[in-house]
A and B are shown apart, each in its own frame.
Chain A
Amino acid sequence: MKTLIEAKNISKIYPSGGEDTVALKDINLELKQGESVAIIGKSGSGKSTLMHILATLDRPTDGELLFAGRHAHNLSVAQIDHIRNKRFGFVFQQFFLNARSTCLENVILPLTIMGISAAERTRRGLTMLEQVGLLDKAKQRAGELSGGQKQRLCIARALITKPLVIFADEPTGNLDTENGDIVTNLLFKLQKEHGITLVIVTHDHDLAKLCDRSLVMRDGRIVAPDSEQQRRV
């Protein structure tokens, strides 16, 4: 399998007064095409910071990051914006939907940022809404949806650019068990259908078990890396 993202000796240090806070320490990992990886750990373990760095939302203090073999620090800001826009999809615990805009407008936001024409956006947006079962809600305001529907809408938004990687930060964190299961099933189904790499940050071990492998983090280090025995058969 092709390696999409490679992290080499990644460290992240936050300067805070006299003593620096070490958020990440010597992280090495590879994300291959089509695999699903869970990053688990307690809050403060550095799992969110790691995801942010892998997703180019944050910059490491030290170490190297490669996208499809290219060094991140050789890429311009515009190129990195483009990677996030076109190659990455994001699903957040708090959804981050625009409550006043319609479901369709929310779903097509990445395409709007990409500069796709309105007609093309609508066409692809409706297709995507259909895949997550929200086609009948296209003209409704996102604020009127239930929590589960909101997260399905977010999945649709994350998938609309046909990304290579989806970063999901506690995707079921704000949902009850039933809706959490619906969202989880949908996420994995679409991930497999489209051959997307899925990175899930969670403290939910049940959710982590659904992934091909899990990285357990503690105090900014991966303590249980790449455990083949966790791989689902």
Chain B
Amino acid sequence: MKLIDIIRISQKNLFRAKLRTALTIGAVFIGALTLSLTNGLGNGVKAYVNDQLGNLGVENTLIIRVKQTQQNPVSTDVTEYNPERQVGTFNIALLDTSDLERMAKIEGVKEVFPDRLPMLDYMTAGDEKYEVAAYQHVEGLNITMAAGELVRNDFPNGITIPQKYVEPLGYASAADIIGGTLTLGYKDSAQTQQEVEVTVVGVQEQSLLGNTNIVISQGLAKLILDDQTEGVPALEGKYMNAVVKYDPNYSEDEVAKLKERFETGGYGAQTVQDQIGMISQVIDAILIVLNVFGVITLVAAAFGIVNTQLMSVNERTSEIGLMKALGASRRNVFAIFSIEAASIGFWGAVSGVLVSIVIGTIVSDLASKNFLKDFVGFKLIAFPVVPTLVVVVGIIALSFLAGALPSLKASRLDPIKALRYE
């Protein structure tokens, strides 16, 4: 038989028992809709995270910590006390100046500097004081700016601030605040209130990274942190993280080897990409849980397809018998019923995905206009072509598998028995 005739016959058969077919397609539709929406949500969030963090521009950078001995929550082992080990909050082991010196000697390291995290009390333009936290600027870090430019280490008193501070600080727009003077307040090691004057050189666009902290230069971070730790041996010259710059020409292999060298030195090393990878993994894990619901619905729908097709084979026993008597091969009969089953999947998947795209687009639009309005370019629910096609093709394949048993039954019918059936 010609493929086109097989398809034609199966489509005709499909719409013979209209209600039954429609209900079976409906079950697949619900599964496809669920799966497509949860996928869309995951894809939207992931695309945004990748877009935001993927273009950071800190390519040749490693974040270094002392190898942690924190216990695995499911392990009953305890670790022996090591007096050499210096720890901070949560038993996180700290780096000190000798560590930094050791790292600088590791092969492939161009530059090492501590990740200084000074504790700020407030930021003010003279009137109201606002709570604030600061990142230390890393060369190459590429936060998108709404106005002005990035912090430069050769201009220690220049800072960039998140967009959300502009109005509270008494400025009309991001452009207005550029060049403005602000005061940062902090407490020194003797708990005395100190202030430092800074100049706004840029305003960070609202994004995952730019929305929370101000960014200050390495010089300013050092100035404040030194003031805060001076004379306190537990804190002075101690850091949770160090930032290492390596040769920008390093291949992936060489980076991996460099990481190993840190590992053998007793440090844990991660690239920014590794850290983004961890965020992606968390999103993926949530996504998988959500997808399981869609998949469970689809498995239920698959049983519906088996049921429908078994009924269809029973109803058409004499018809199948006739076709086989007239010379139709087993393969022809199998193909007719398989394509019928796959078509149920096809129509369910296509309608489910289309409706999910409509719903997703409406929800995304509403979200962008409301609670996500400040997150430029954040599409809550996204439908990239390949994952969407994978959903459709996957459902068709599942339906084909569900139809395999009834199709096999049909193809194995003995024409004589089938013709005697009526």
Neighbouring A residues of B2 by C-beta, 8 Å: 112, 115, 117
Q: Which residues of A contact B332 (CB under 8 A)?
A: 113
Q: How far is the CB of B165 from chain A (nearest CB, A)?
A: 73
Q: B131 interface residue, CB < 8 Å from A? A: no
Indicate whether A152 reaches chain B with its CB closer than 8 angstroms: no
Chain B proximity of A33: nearest CB distance (Å): 21
Nearest CB of chain A from residue B44's CB, rounded to whole Å: 46
Residue B416 lies at the interface, judged by CB distance under 8 Å to chain A = yes
Q: Is the CB of B323 within 8 A of A84?
A: no
Contact partner of B329 (CB less than 8 A), chosen from A77, A96, A100, is A77
Q: Given A100-B16, A112-B1, A115-B2 in contact, is the A85-B416 Cβ separation under 8 Å?
A: no
Interface 1/0 per residue, A98-132 and B, CB below 8 Å:
10110000000110111101000000000000000
What are 27 A-B residue pairs whose CB atoms fall within 8 Å in the complex? A57-B325, A77-B329, A77-B330, A78-B329, A81-B327, A84-B326, A90-B325, A94-B318, A96-B318, A96-B319, A96-B321, A96-B322, A96-B419, A96-B422, A98-B319, A100-B16, A101-B12, A109-B326, A110-B327, A112-B2, A112-B5, A113-B1, A113-B326, A114-B1, A114-B327, A115-B1, A117-B2
Complex CA–CA separation, A57 to B318 (angstroms): 14
Chain B contacts with A in 77-133, Cβ cutoff 8 A: none
A117 partner residues in chain B, CB cutoff 8 A:
2
- In angstroms, Cα B168 to Cα A97, docked, is 83
Is the Cβ of A90 less than 8 Å from the Cβ of B422? no
Number of interface residues of B (CB under 8 A): 22
With a cutoff of 8 Å between Cβ atoms, the chain B residues found around residue A94 in the complex are 318, 419, 422
Is A58's beta carbon under 8 Å from chain B? yes
Interface size on A, residues (CB 8 A): 26
Q: Which residue of A lies closest to B328 (CB)?
A: A113
* A contact residues around B325 at 8 Å (CB): 55, 57, 84, 90
- Chain A positions within 8 Å of B, measured between CB atoms, are 52, 55, 57-58, 77-78, 81-86, 90, 92, 94, 96, 98, 100-101, 109-110, 112-115, 117
What is the predominant secondary structure among interface residues of chain B facing chain A? helix
Residue of B nearest to A85 (CB): B327
Interface residues of B (CB under 8 A from A): 1-2, 5, 9, 12, 16, 318-319, 321-323, 325-330, 332, 415-416, 419, 422
| Extra A-B contacts (16), CB below 8 Å, given A55-B325, A109-B322 | A58-B416, A77-B329, A78-B329, A83-B327, A84-B326, A86-B327, A92-B419, A96-B319, A110-B326, A112-B9, A113-B1, A113-B327, A113-B328, A113-B332, A114-B327, A115-B5
> Smallest CB-CB separation from A52: which chain B residue?
B416
Least Cβ–Cβ distance between A111 and chain B, in angstroms: 10
Check A57–B416 contact: CB distance below 8 A. Answer: yes
When distances are taken between beta carbons in the complex, the residues of chain B under 8 Å from A78 are 329
Which 5 A-B residue pairs are closest in the complex by CB-CB distance?
Answer: A85-B327, A84-B327, A96-B322, A81-B327, A113-B328
Known: A57-B416, A94-B422, A96-B318. A81 touches B328 (CB 8 A): yes
Contacts of B9 in A (CB 8 A): 112
Provide the residues of chain B in CB contact with A100, threshold 8 Å: 16
CB-CB < 8 A to A57: which residues of B? 325, 415-416
Once the chains are docked, how many angstroms separate the CA of A153 from the CA of B5? 21
